[in-house]
Structure 1
C-alpha cells in the first residue's frame, strides 16, 4: 500500500454525521482511508449551521463529495411544532448548502442529499421505481417534495442526487423497537400485515453512496432499497427467527387500533408502520450496483451477531 495514500485521498463532507446513517458512513470512509469533514450543530464539527455560507464554503472547497443527511427525526408525534421542525431542518439546511456550493471556486463533483422512500404513494399493487413510481399525499410526502425541490432549485451546477432512502437496518436504529416487540411476544403482523416493508442494510447504504459518487451519469432521485420486498407479516416472522429471543415462538398480532394507541404512548406516528412502502431500486440496479445484502434473512443474520440480548434502547419521540 502506498504510505501516502491517506494524504492523497480527497475529503468527503458529511452533514448530519452524528446520526445513525451518518455515523456509519463516517466510520467506513475513514476505514477506507478517506478524510471526512462534518457539518452540524456541535462544537466538534468542522462547520456549523447558522454561521453563514463562508464557514460551509471553506469546508466544501476542494472536497470530492458532500453528503447531506441533516434533518430532525420523524419518529415523533406530528404536532404543529414538530412538523415545522421536520420541514425546516431539511429545507433550510439544503438551501444553505446550495448557497455555499454556489460560492465555491472548486466545488465537490457530486451532492448527495437525503430524501425518503416515503415520497411514494401507499402501494400494494406494484413496486415504485424512480421512473414510473407515483408520488403520494399527506404530510410526509409534502416534506419530501419540498426537500427535493430545494435540492433541484439550488443555484449550483454540481451534480445532484436525491437519496430516497428506505428503512436503514443495522445494529440499533429503527430495528430496535421491532426487535423489542418480538422479544416481548408481540411479534405477529402489524395492522393487516400486508403492507410492504422496504429496507436497506447499512453496508449497502455506504456501498450505494460510493457507487453513486463514481457514476457521473447518474443524477436526480435514486431509491436506496434492497431488491427484496417483504410484507410486514414476513418481516415480523423473520425478526422473530433471527433476533426474537424468548419471543421467537410467540406471535401476538397488533391491529391498527393498538398501534395507534401505542404510538401515542411512545410519541410517534403509526403511519411509520402501517403505510405500504413498495420502493424498488431501479436506478441502482440499472447502473450496475451489486448489493452486499440483497436478502432480508442475510441482513438480519448479520445484525443478530451484533445485537445484545434483552430489550434494546429506543429513543422516545
Structure 2
C-alpha cells in the first residue's frame, strides 16, 4: 500500500529523470502527492534560480538527486562533470531556498540531498554508522565530502537538511542488468577477492525511507540508506546465480577487472571497494525494511526468464 503522511502533499524532486528519481515520481504520484521537478527541462531548469525558487514555494519537501552517472572512467573531463553536477546543483538549490524566503515565499521545511555510502572507507572490519563511520580517501570520497559540505554551507534557516548516504540501489534494471548478464554467460563468480562487502537498498525501501525522513523532524544530518542485510561480493553473485538458476560462475580476478574497466570505460572500484554501511539512524527512528535481506529483494527484482533492461549506475 502506497501511503504518505497527510502533511506531505507537495514534493519537489531535482534530478527526477534518473533511475531513482523516476521511481520516486511514480510512487509519490500514485499516492496522490503533487510532484514538481527541477532539471534540464520544464518550468524550473538549472541556472534559473528564480524559477527554482518559485517551484520550491509552498512545497512540503525537497529531494535532490541530481548528479552525473559515475559509470565511467575518472579522467579529468568526467571527473569535473561528476563533481560539478553534484556540488553546483546543491549550491544553486541553497540559493533558491534563500531567495524563496527573501521573496516572501515559504520554502519546504526539509531538504533531502543525495549523497553516497561510498563516502566511508573500504571497510572489512566493522559496519560504518552515521555516528562512528570513518570517511575514506580518493576521488569518490572527495566528491561526496564536497557534496555534503555544499549542503551544510547553504544558508537556509528553518530548513532541516538531510544528507542521504545511499548504498547501491537495487531494482529492475540498475546494477542488476550487468550482474544478470555476467551470471547468464557463466562469468557470475566472485569479483576480485569476493570478501568485499556489498551494501545495498531496494528501490521501494528507499522511497519509504524518504517518506519517513520527511515526516520525522529528529532525522537530520547524514542518514545511511542501506539494508541491514549486507553481503559479501561472493554471496551477492551466488544469490544472483541461484535466482537465475545458473549452477556456477567463473571468478574474475582483480587485475582482469581493472583491465576490463579500461576497455569498457568504467572503474573497477565500483565492485572492488568494500562498502559496509549500517542504517542505524533509520532503525532507531523505527523504520522497518520491506527487504532487509538480499534473497527476497532478488526474488522481487529478477525473473529467471526475463532479461533486465539496463539503467545508469548512480553514485551510491
Report which structure shows greater RCO (CA 8 Å, sep ≥6).
Answer: 2
- TM-score (norm. length: structure 2): 0.93
The aligned residue for residue 181 of structure 1 is: 182
Alignment of 1:297-308 (within 5 A): 297-305=295-303
Question: Structure 1 237/265 Cα, relative in aligned 2: closer, same or farther at 3 Å?
Answer: same
**Greater mean alpha carbon deviation, residues 260-269 or residues 155-164:** 260-269
Contact 2:13–2:64 (CA under 8 A) maintained in structure 1 = yes
CA distance in 2, matches of 1:304, 1:87: 33
Deviation at 1:312, TM superposition (A): 4.6
Contact 1:180–1:312 (CA under 8 A) maintained in structure 2 = no
- Pick aligned residue for 1:98 from 89, 94, 99: 94
How many residue pairs match? The answer is 305
The aligned residue for residue 63 of structure 1 is: 59
CA distance in 1, matches of 2:217, 2:81: 33
The aligned residue for residue 292 of structure 1 is: 290
Secondary structure of 1:171 counterpart: coil
Deviation at 1:178, TM superposition (A): 1.0
Question: Structure 1 8/200 Cα, relative in aligned 2: closer, same or farther at 3 Å?
Answer: closer
- TM-score (norm. length: structure 1): 0.93
Question: Structure 1 229/63 Cα, relative in aligned 2: closer, same or farther at 3 Å?
Answer: same
CA distance in 2, matches of 1:46, 1:150: 24
- Pick aligned residue for 1:50 from 29, 47, 52: 47
Contact 1:170–1:202 (CA under 8 A) maintained in structure 2 = yes
Deviation at 1:46, TM superposition (A): 3.2
CA distance in 1, matches of 2:205, 2:14: 19
1:150 aligns with 2:147: no
CA distance in 1, matches of 2:313, 2:99: 39
The aligned residue for residue 309 of structure 1 is: 306
Unaligned runs of 5+ in 1: none
Alignment of 1:1-317 (within 5 A): 10-42=9-41, 45-51=42-48, 53-104=49-100, 105-157=105-157, 158-243=159-244, 248-305=246-303, 309-310=306-307, 312-313=309-310
Deviation at 1:242, TM superposition (A): 1.0
Secondary structure of 2:92 counterpart: helix
Question: Structure 1 9/69 Cα, relative in aligned 2: closer, same or farther at 3 Å?
Answer: closer
CA distance in 2, matches of 1:277, 1:191: 14
Question: Structure 1 24/209 Cα, relative in aligned 2: closer, same or farther at 3 Å?
Answer: same
Question: Structure 1 20/132 Cα, relative in aligned 2: closer, same or farther at 3 Å?
Answer: same
Unaligned runs of 5+ in 2: none
Runs of 4+ in structure 1 displaced over 2 angstroms?
A: 7-10, 307-317
Contact 1:12–1:37 (CA under 8 A) maintained in structure 2 = yes
CA distance in 1, matches of 2:8, 2:126: 42
